[in-house]
């Protein structure tokens, strides 16, 4: 199996296919005092004029045109990326979210501690202050079902589920940071009537649980058709774990994979003829995801002309599954994925013609909010792009180059901060509307920077000065 096929097989990891004003008052005690101290020390002498929303009549034309000046005036310092502690610094973030029902929060690398814990922190805040109830991950739908059973009902061992499900390219999610998020969600549900849910929206694997959900529904409602559904799913159902399932599936010929795709589509079409009911609504969604997985694996991704079509299909499927969950359950969703997926514009259009964020904006309008992330320096885990088949490795990068978006974002005099790109001065937005080199570190590294125009790609940016590699579970 080629390196490209090995990574596409997991389909979790984008860009690896080729290889507050409150701080100024000192009125709060943050969870991360070191970060607050660094932010406070970084405040310029005219900090009051630079505070979010403040106006300065003394700003020169040159200063106003400087993107650093414009960003600094509207930036809100982050006191911590730790999910435990005070969250008064997130009040402005809540205002930015507004009435959005799906908030896509990105990550500039797929395996850094601070990106994961920051999402956990934002989710806790949105649960508490904005009524969010769902954490959706760039993971398979069937994995989400297994973890949701634990989160809602306490069924299963979450770390064993993670060990079994987060394999192949999904191994990036097998980290202590996600284990702590999942365990917190279970703890929350034990003391609250309004339940939190964990959802996977991706199409890189179809576990036996999602297929059995469909066949068990058929057995209860139209038992005479059970044999037919069992036959339709025979080529895709397996009790093997993710890595073994993926490897085995790619040993099938392209013709066989196309045949299985057709079988799953026939099952979906047949299910649509069942009498309407709430139970059928869920069975159809399960069957739709199975068909999506079969369709994804029916692309000949070794053909470079086909690869962009496969990636577009995948992003649309993830968007459709997320929107379906939000619409069907009425839940507000934090969607966790790579920057390249939650954006409105692709930084690598030759491979990713249209991404999940663009599809969600078309479906949800301004009820979708895109939050990008960036960093100046630090470490992460990734597959070595120059060593096909090698295991994950820890990489460390120095500060970004002077031509990059990250270089300018890091010149803002706060260690960590977030800013609403929609509210920036016209000259600042104009600067941020130009494509510049931007780190898009996904499944493999080294990997070339993307070319990204931040202002047209995201609504909000979170910038962290330094990141560290995530803590992988055994």
One-character DSSP codes across 167-229 = -GGGGGG-BHHHHHHHHHHHHHHTT-SS--EEEEEE-S---HHHHHHHHHHHHHH-GGGHHHH
Predicted pLDDT of residue 169: 87
The predicted pLDDT at position 36 comes to 37
Closest among 140, 182, 403 to 293, alpha carbons compared:
140
Contacts of 102 (CB under 8 A, 6+ apart): 322, 323, 326, 332, 333, 335, 360, 364, 367, 368, 369
pLDDT computed for residue 65 by the predictor: 66
CA angle 288/290/294 to nearest 5° reads 115
Cis peptide before 101 (omega within 30 of 0): no
**Got the DSSP string for 86-119?**
--GGGHHHHHHHTT-SEEEE--SSSSBHHHHHHH
Per-residue pLDDT tens listing for the chain (474 residues): 343 443 333 334 333 333 322 222 222 223 343 443 444 344 333 333 333 333 333 333 433 467 999 999 999 999 999 999 899 999 999 999 999 999 999 999 999 999 999 999 999 999 999 999 999 999 999 999 999 999 999 999 999 999 999 999 899 999 999 999 999 999 999 999 999 999 999 999 999 999 999 999 999 999 999 999 999 999 999 999 999 999 999 999 999 999 999 999 999 999 999 999 999 999 999 999 999 999 999 999 989 999 999 999 999 999 999 999 999 999 999 999 999 999 999 999 999 999 999 999 999 999 999 999 999 999 999 999 999 989 999 999 999 999 999 999 999 999 999 999 999 999 999 999 999 999 999 999 999 999 999 999 999 999 999 999 999 999
């Amino acid at each position: 199996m080629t390196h490209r096929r090995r990574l596409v097989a997991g389909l979790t990891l984008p860009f690896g296919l080729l290889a507050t004003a409150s701080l100024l008052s000192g009125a709060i005690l943050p969870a991360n005092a070191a970060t607050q101290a660094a932010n406070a020390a970084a405040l310029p002498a005219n900090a009051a004029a630079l505070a979010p929303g403040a106006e300065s009549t003394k700003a020169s034309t040159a200063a106003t045109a400087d993107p650093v000046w414009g960003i600094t005036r509207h930036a809100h310092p982050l006191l911590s990326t730790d999910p435990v502690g005070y969250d008064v610094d997130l009040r402005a973030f809540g205002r930015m979210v507004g009435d959005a029902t799906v908030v896509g929060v990105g990550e500039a690398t797929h395996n850094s501690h601070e990106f994961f814990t920051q999402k956990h922190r934002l989710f806790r805040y949105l649960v508490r202050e904005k009524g969010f109830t769902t954490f959706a991950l760039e993971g398979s739908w069937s994995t989400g079902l297994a973890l949701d059973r634990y989160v809602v009902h306490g069924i299963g061992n979450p770390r064993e589920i993670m060990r079994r499900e987060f394999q192949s390219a999904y191994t990036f999610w097998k980290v202590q940071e996600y284990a702590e998020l999942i365990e917190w969600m279970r703890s929350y549900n034990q003391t609250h009537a309004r339940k939190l849910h964990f959802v996977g929206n991706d199409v890189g694997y179809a576990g036996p649980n999602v297929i059995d959900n469909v066949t068990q529904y058929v057995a209860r409602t139209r038992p005479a058709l059970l044999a037919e559904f069992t036959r339709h799913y025979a080529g895709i159902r397996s009790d093997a774990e993710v890595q073994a399932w993926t490897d085995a599936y790619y040993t099938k010929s392209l013709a066989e994979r196309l045949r299985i795709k057709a079988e799953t589509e026939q099952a979906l079409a047949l299910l649509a003829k069942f009498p309407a009911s709430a139970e059928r609504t869920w069975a159809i969604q399960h069957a739709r995801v199975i068909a999506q997985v079969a369709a994804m694996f029916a692309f000949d991704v070794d053909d470079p002309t086909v690869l962009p079509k496969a990636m577009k299909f995948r992003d649309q499927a993830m968007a459709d599954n997320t929107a379906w969950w939000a619409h069907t359950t009425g839940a507000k969703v934090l969607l966790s994925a790579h920057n390249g997926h939650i954006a409105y514009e692709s930084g690598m259009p030759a491979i990713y013609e249209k991404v999940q964020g663009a599809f969600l904006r078309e479906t949800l309008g301004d009820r979708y909010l895109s939050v990008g992330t960036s960093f100046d320096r630090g470490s992460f885990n990734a597959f070595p792009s120059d060593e096909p088949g090698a295991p994950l490795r820890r990489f460390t990068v120095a500060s970004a180059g002077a031509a990059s978006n990250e270089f300018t974002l890091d010149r803002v005099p706060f260690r960590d901060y977030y800013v609403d790109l929609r509210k920036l001065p016209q000259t600042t937005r104009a600067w941020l509307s130009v494509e510049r080199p931007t780190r898009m570190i996904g499944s493999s590294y080294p990997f070339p920077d993307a070319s990204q125009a931040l202002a047209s790609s995201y609504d909000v940016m979170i910038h962290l000065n330094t990141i560290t590699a995530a803590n992988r579970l055994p």
